[in-house]
Amino acid sequence: EAIDVSKHFSVANGIGDAAVVRAVEGVSLRLLPGRIVAVVGESGSGKTTLARLLARFYEPTTGEIRLAGAPVGRTRRARSEKTYRKAVQLIFQDPFGSLNPLHRVRHNLERAIALHHGRMSRQARDERVASLLERVSLVPASDYLDKFPHELSGGQRQRVVIARALAVEPRVLLGDEPISMLDVSIRLEMLNLLDSLRREEGLAILYITHDIASARYLCDDIVVMYAGQMVEAGPKDEVISNPQHPYTKLLVESSPDPHRDVAVDREAIFGDADELGEPPSLIDPPTGCRFHPRCPFAMERCRTTEPPRAVLAEGRWADCWLHEVGRAEELHEAPMTE
């Protein structure tokens, strides 16, 4: 669980001074056993920083990370960190860089098993390695044990990475764009593997992606991030079919959808594509609502004051002034033309 977590980085600004990058601001998020939450947003939205905060690669600047209700990194720090790092495993985007190229599959898994179980008999360790490979559908295991990473396809490597994560019997998996570097043909298999892990092992999974279609396929809930902040959250079908924030609407309308029977004219919704502009700088983010420079619904108050959270139902909310001023229905009046 992340509670009001922020992460700021100091960087050199090129003229001898330090600037502060506000990569994540005020994020609260809870993962539950057997459920998958997607965090969606474009590059620079802060979603990878959020994954790394949850994996404890970074210490939050403010806020708190908890595991099963207990804060991490405060009391009895070393022990608590160790427990946390076993319980929460991060799967990276790049399966090519995640495995030591000098080590065979067997060695990569044995090291993780030793970390978790300590000393084991050779037979028990072999059985554990084989069962992990079978769990991620690398069968027969004997075909993979003695392979080096470069002898595997991208999908096979990512399966080994997941097997290695499972070796420490985690409770939470954080997937940072885990399918985006894989062949399109095997992405669905990988999503189905993640789905089976949540169903059969009861893992809590955070799925970070810029691809709303895969989030719709895999996840229960969706959180939308923009410029380091969460802007909307809710059950996936609600968020996708009834977005309550203009940025979510942009993401959904821009995503290919075989179920939609009209072609979406993005310009009709958000004006000329050139006017969409770039994501804002996180060194000097826009005042008020950070989306206001790109938002066709922006009002004067959007430029000066952060929008309040409109809670629409339990677990369903959006941070947008349109709700406060009674204009939310305008979100659904934008034309969709062929």
What is the contact surface with ligand SF4 in residues (CB under 6 A)?
Answer: 245-246, 289, 291-292, 295, 297-299, 302, 307, 320-322
CB closer to ligand SF4 out of 25 and 176: 25
- The Cα 20–Cα 323 span in angstroms is 32
CB closer to ligand SF4 out of 20 and 298: 298
Q: How far is the CB of 240 from ligand SF4 (least distance, A)?
A: 17
CB closer to ligand SF4 out of 208 and 322: 322
> CB–CB of 211/228 below 8 Å?
no
Q: How far is the CB of 206 from ligand SF4 (least distance, A)?
A: 24
Q: How far is the CB of 318 from ligand SF4 (least distance, A)?
A: 8
Q: How far is the CB of 291 from ligand SF4 (least distance, A)?
A: 5
CB closer to ligand SF4 out of 110 and 238: 238
In sequence order, what E strands does 178-325 have?
204-209, 221-226, 229-235, 309-313, 316-319
Q: How far is the CB of 313 from ligand SF4 (least distance, A)?
A: 19
Look up tokens 């043909």; give the residue.
185
The DSSP annotation for 11-39 comes to EE-SSS-EEEEEEEEEEEE---TT-EEEE
CB closer to ligand SF4 out of 270 and 291: 291
CB closer to ligand SF4 out of 207 and 291: 291
Distances (CA, A) of 334 to 136, 246, 269: 44, 11, 6
Position 58: which residue type?
A: Y
CB closer to ligand SF4 out of 143 and 300: 300
229-235 vs 309-313, strand pairing mode: unpaired
- The Cα 196–Cα 136 span in angstroms is 10
Q: How far is the CB of 46 from ligand SF4 (least distance, A)?
A: 17
Distances (CA, A) of 78 to 5, 45, 59, 71, 83: 21, 31, 14, 13, 9
How many C-beta neighbours within 10 Å does residue 154 have?
16
- The Cα 158–Cα 154 span in angstroms is 6
Q: How far is the CB of 62 from ligand SF4 (least distance, A)?
A: 23
Q: How far is the CB of 271 from ligand SF4 (least distance, A)?
A: 13
Closest CA to 219 of 230, 208, 227: 208
CB closer to ligand SF4 out of 143 and 324: 324
Q: How far is the CB of 276 from ligand SF4 (least distance, A)?
A: 13
172-176 vs 88-91, strand pairing mode: parallel
CB closer to ligand SF4 out of 71 and 308: 308
Question: Terminus-to-terminus CA distance in the chain, angstroms?
Answer: 43
Provide the Cα torsion 221, 226, 230, 235; round to 10°. Answer: -20
Burial 40-64 (b: 16+ CB within 10 A, else e): bbbebbbbbbbbbbbbbebebbebe
